[in-house]
A and B are shown apart, each in its own frame.
Chain A
Amino acid sequence: MDEFLQRALAAGLGLAVVAGPLGCLVVWRRMAYFGDTIAHAALLGVVAGLLLGADPALGVVALAVAAAVLLAAAERDRRLASDTLLGILSHGALAAGLVALSLMEEVRVNLMTWLLGDILAVTWTDAALAWGGGALVLAALALVWRALVAAAVDEDLAAVEGHRVGLARLVLMVLVALLVAVALKVVGALLATALLIIPAAAARPLARTPEQMALLAAAMGMVAVAAGLGASWRFDTPSGPSIVVAAVAVFVLTRVAARRG
């Protein structure tokens, strides 16, 4: 196995482990659009990083987290956090990022790498970041897990029962932003949210408890990453779309299995 594939596999599997439980929360709380908006804002971060002469990855993390904090604040105002507004923000950020990237003539950026992911671009640093950062993200998630599950049932009930709903929501948004930022190289900005949503949806029919669903989602994400990266390497296809196609295949399989069973 080529070394670049090992690197991509290491990073991708680390991402999938974290994306499982995070993705379940995104699905339960109907936050798919939030994930998209953050991923697209992260693309602007690439530009900002390059303009400031810093590592694009730093710009990505900074913008993704900033977008998450802003959106968490906006979600308090429920009139603002409509599908329409998030759609505008999400696509607006993507378009602005694309325009800004194309204007930067002197810096040659491989746009496709950031949009669709590229296993050739993944370094051992990225892999270490996926596992080290992933462990931190999971630890933070464990602290607010009960509050987040309670809030997924009903925010008012959770608040009455003493959970710090606003804080838990902010933590979740920031964790999603961090995951998306790290996932950008492997899956790309266009499809980063898919890594959150599809494995969680695939796990749903087989799960009886929230925790079962989180673990199953992590496992299915790993299967999708391994199969997708293998295909990407074998057929020379972009890594992001290959992983997502594999994830959709897993999703279809569990649906069919649940129907039969």
Chain B
Amino acid sequence: MAEPLVRLDRVSLSLGGQQVLTEVSLAVEPGRIVTIVGPNGAGKSTLVKVALGLLPPEAGHVHRRPGLAIGYVPQRLVVAPTLPLSVRRFLAMAVPRARLADMEQSLERVGAGHVLARQVTALSGGELQRVMLARAVLRRPDFLALDEPVGGVDMTGQAELYDLIAGLARDHGSGVLMVSHDLHVVMAATDEVVCLNRHVCCAGHPEAVSRHPEYLGLFGPRAAGSLAIYTHVHDHAHLADGTVGADSPHVNGPHGHGPDCRHG
């Protein structure tokens, strides 16, 4: 297995007197997509910031391969309305020597080919999200950190953007660390899922995680059902509301909490 681009070893961090991360370990290797899922307040964005070096951990270690080209899409970008800034300039800030054609191409790839001359503050939420992804892609990143990269993007757009991200990992060998709420789509396009609730509840291949009692405890059996739909592994029965029947071989009980799950 290739040497990881980014590796976190037993990282702990508290913010404002509250423990946000406890002994979290994960690694992102080239060409692999690692997705963090978890409820609100689980520390997902914090974990991404620790991986990027924006927040220093209180305990544990963060290793980033030296000279890593990083593309980052933060959860939310609020550009002050007082700042005059065109999309073109916003892209050029990320890659000062980028050619106009490259900028146009990266915007085309995220389905925002028409916005180059627009002001950033005039973009809609979904457009801004696409532009931020284009900006991250333009940097030809070895490592992509994406904090809910498709928030505010319409449904068809979401699928296209996830395809683009998967393509980057496959063709360019980028390692991707992604936060998402979008369980079913993510599960289908992810190499590894880390289920986070201030600590790592469980981690591994999507199939395995989706059967893990702690995952089911956090998201309920409905989430496991969504996964099954999108990966088209129909070896179980759906109830009328779309949940997986309790007698399915996948699901060991509708709600199981693990011994060290501290939520709820």
Contact = CB atoms under 8 A, between A and B. Distances in A.
Interface of A: 27-30, 79, 146, 149-150, 152-154, 156-157, 159-161, 200-201, 204, 207-210, 212-213
Contact of B82 (A27, A149, A156, A159): A27
Interface string B65-97: 000001010100101101111100110011000
A30 B84 contact: no
B93 A149 contact: yes
B82 A153 contact: no
Question: Which of the listed residues A30, A152, A153 has the most CB atoms from chain B within 10 Å of its own CB?
Answer: A153
Interface of B: 16, 49, 52-54, 70, 72, 74, 77, 79-80, 82-86, 89-90, 93-94, 119-120, 139, 145
A222 B84 CA distance: 21
| Best-buried of B70, B72, B74, B93 by chain A (most CB within 10 Å) | B93
B84 A207 contact: yes
A130 to B, nearest CB: 26
A28 B83 contact: yes
B125 to A, nearest CB: 15
B16 A79 contact: yes
A157 B120 CA distance: 15
Contact of A156 (B72, B79, B80): B72
Contacts of A152: 80, 83
Contact of A210 (B16, B52, B83, B145): B83
A142 B139 CA distance: 25
A164 to B, nearest CB: 13
Given A154-B79, A210-B89, 10 more contacts: A152-B83, A153-B77, A153-B83, A153-B120, A156-B72, A157-B72, A208-B84, A209-B84, A209-B85, A213-B84
A28 B84 CA distance: 9
Nearest to A160: B72
Nearest to B120: A153
A157 B82 contact: no
A204 B82 contact: yes
Contacts of B120: 153
B92 to A, nearest CB: 11
Nearest to A216: B84
A208 B90 contact: no
Contacts of A208: 84, 86, 119
Nearest to B79: A153
A154 B93 CA distance: 12
Contacts of B119: 208
Contacts of B139: 161
Contacts of B89: 209-210
B83 A160 contact: no
For A152, A161, A204, the residue with the greatest tally of chain B CB atoms inside 10 Å of its CB is A161
A28 B80 contact: yes
Nearest to A26: B82
7 contacts: A146-B93, A152-B80, A152-B83, A153-B120, A201-B82, A204-B84, A209-B86
Nearest to B49: A156
A210 B80 contact: no
Contact of B93 (A79, A153, A200): A153
Given A28-B80, A30-B80, A152-B80, A157 B85 contact: no
A36 B263 CA distance: 45
Contacts of A146: 93
Contacts of A207: 84
Nearest to B132: A157
A33 to B, nearest CB: 15
Contacts of A200: 82
A23 B53 CA distance: 31
